[in-house]
Amino acid sequence: MDLKILPGLKGPADLKKLSVGELPVLAADIRQAICGQIMKTGGHFAPNLGVVELTIALHYVFDFAWDRLLFDVGHQCYPHKLLTGRYPMLPTLRQTGGMAGFPEPRESDYDLFSVGHAGTSIPTAVGMARGDLLNNEAFDPQTNPKGRCVVALIGDASIVNGVAMEGMNNAGTLKRQFLVVFNDNGMSIAHPQGALAAYFDRIRVNPAYRKVKRAAKDVVRHLPGGSLIGEMYHRLGEIAKDAVAEDAWFEKFGLLTVGPIDGHDLPTLIDMLLEVKQVDRPMVLHVHTVKGKGYRFAEGDATTFHSPKPFKVQNGAELHSEGCKVELASGGRSFTSAFADAMIDVMERDEKVVTCTAAMPDGTGLTKVMQTFPDRGWDTGICESHAMDMMAGLAKTGFKPFFAVYSTFLQRAFDQLFQEVALQGLPVRLCLDRAGLVGGDGAVHQGFCDISLLRVFPKSVLMAAMDEPSLRGALEFMRLYDDGISAVRYPRDNVSEMFAQTQCPPFVLGKARPLLEHDQPDAAILGYGVMAIQAMNAIELLDSEYRVNVYDARFARPVDANLLSSLIRREIPIITVEDHGIESGFGSCVVDACVDLGLDTRLIRHLAIPGRWIYQGARKDQLEESGLDAASIARTVRAVVDTPSRERDVPVITIEPRRVETKSPIR
């Protein structure tokens, strides 16, 4: 790569030495570096391309070694990381021990929070703003010009999230500088949904929001601090064309509002930020950006290139050329694709089945489903709590709702799941994509606690799919289960073909499926979901002298009580294996069931995600680190079988998972 400025940039101090005229060259460097890396390893592409100039301008004006910068979601932080001394880490992006794909305080003091969920930047920024006030460190243009400024960056899809609005409601009460930079690109992963998204669409095209200098002065004269803002417009001249009208939506929250301005015009951005930095009250700077900016193929298909796999240019074309087309790396059939086809099949057979997702139609496979059934499938936008309550309402009116949601985002709807679903005895069906270890997205997206959350609800039924036929079987069971919540979990991975040619028996409540059985086994493995496939792989690594039964457990609630009774009464050691946190997961369900049955639990060993954070890396590396790969399972079998029965006293993991040390943080 022919980078001109970026390799020599050691941090924001070097950035501030550049002239404004040199900054577009730096912007081009950043885009080229990000593109070159993601072509090789995959990662968040279009979100980062869209905020290059905005991020440069923010670091050019503010000093975030002292000031506060809070990211929302955080998947647009690559330019920020490159500007804060982490360019040498870029080749390790999203890899084990390398640079995280989200803000990560372990890497740098410039990252204030590990974030990966939407809506959090404004509330956490309000907290830091109040803390700085209490510490007498808050910026004030008159009394403390060297104090800390606070900036929260949030996108138009995230701002509809309930916690973001709660944050704005409180931000409007602050008596100090507080800047919300509203990154309005008309996209999240998919197109934002709802009335507020339509409102922002109207702002972008409505000439009434493009005021001339005189009209803008008339507007700000009626706002708190109007004389200060009016003087700002006087100095900025033509930028005043972008003043938002007096009835701007944000001003209902008590936030002064300026914009929308061009988020790719560096001189305008810098001038505007220099001015709004001096405002001594909460305000919003509305910035219009283009997701995927700089590469036509990404601008034209920002959904596909939100977080693509590695890709290459077709026919040797130039990336910037008009007709450039790229080819994404091909892989096997994913669980997400399998779910989409299975869901369509269920909906074709039952007109009462409806479905929704919360801003993840592509990520969950529902794009294909909603194209087939546009009147029975919805994308609610980034609002899992609303989506859950909407599903409760549909269940109450006699429909069979299936909510497709990432396991990590299910957490955001726990209260609604408790109050409006479980407490009412409503049969809402949960399809939990990205369950377990998720690879490059790392700790912020690991789906490690869905069993823990869901098992507390009476009459809930919890399942896991080990392959595509079992996923179809679980969905069919859920379609017919009307006594309460039901859920099926599956990973961000490809489906196994190991049992593709074998008849998949229907799901029967609380019954496991035997995959490999011996009359006199030395041990038995209960694999939950895809861990049953890992267990079968482990058998291949064991010597033939070990006779091990392997079961696809299928159910965490209720577990197969008859199977447990049979194994333990015959003193056969049991190893539970799950891609879930060890606390209150599938293994705990097994032990609790044995206690209820009066069975000896000393024969039970657990393999699960250990009680520490597992950071970014390849999913196979994360499984190895957690002791869940085939080799680790095989070692555990050997240890259990070769241990005399009198020494089997404590039901704990016998093999310590491999620890992976991260690189030294950049400070």
> Which of 53, 275, 384, 420 is the catalytic position?
384
In the residue annotation, 384 being an active-site residue is answered as: yes
Q: Is the dihedral of CA 402, 408, 411, 413 positive or negative?
A: negative
In the residue annotation, 16 being an active-site residue is answered as: no
- What type of residue sits at position 523? A
- Using CA atoms, how far residue 521 sits from 515, 548, 567, in Å, is 13, 5, 9
SS (H, E, C) 135-179: CCCECECCCECCCECEEEEEECCHHHCHHHHHHHHHHCCCCCCEE
Exposed, middle or buried, 372 (CB in 10 Å: 0-12/13-18/19+)?
middle
> Which of 412, 429, 492, 605 is the catalytic position?
412
List Cβ neighbours of 453 (8 Å cut-off, separation of 6 or more).
410, 411, 414, 417
The helix/strand/coil state of 328 is: strand
Alpha-carbon distance 579 to 437, whole Å? 7
Alpha-carbon distance 368 to 362, whole Å? 8
* Cβ(631)–Cβ(541) below 8 Å: yes
Alpha-carbon distance 449 to 583, whole Å? 8
**Both tokens of residue 307?**
């977080």
* Cβ(119)–Cβ(161) below 8 Å: yes
DSSP string of 192-250?
Answer: --SHHHHHHHHHHH-GGGS--HHHHHHHHTTSTTHHHHHHHHHHHGGGGGGPPPTT-GG
Residue among 601, 607, 602 nearest 637 (CA): 607
SS (H, E, C) 538-579: HHHHCCCCCCEEEEECCEEECCCHHHHHHHHHCCCCEEEEEE
SS (H, E, C) 98-141: CCCCCCCCCCCCCCCCCCCCCCCHHHHHHHHHHHHHHCCCECEC
> Which of 148, 176, 211, 291 is the catalytic position?
291
Return phi, psi of residue 580, to 5°. -155, 160
In the residue annotation, 291 being an active-site residue is answered as: yes
| Biggest CA pair distance of the chain | 90
Exposed, middle or buried, 136 (CB in 10 Å: 0-12/13-18/19+)?
exposed
Return phi, psi of residue 362, to 5°. -75, -45
List Cβ neighbours of 423 (8 Å cut-off, separation of 6 or more).
none
Active site residues: 291, 384, 412
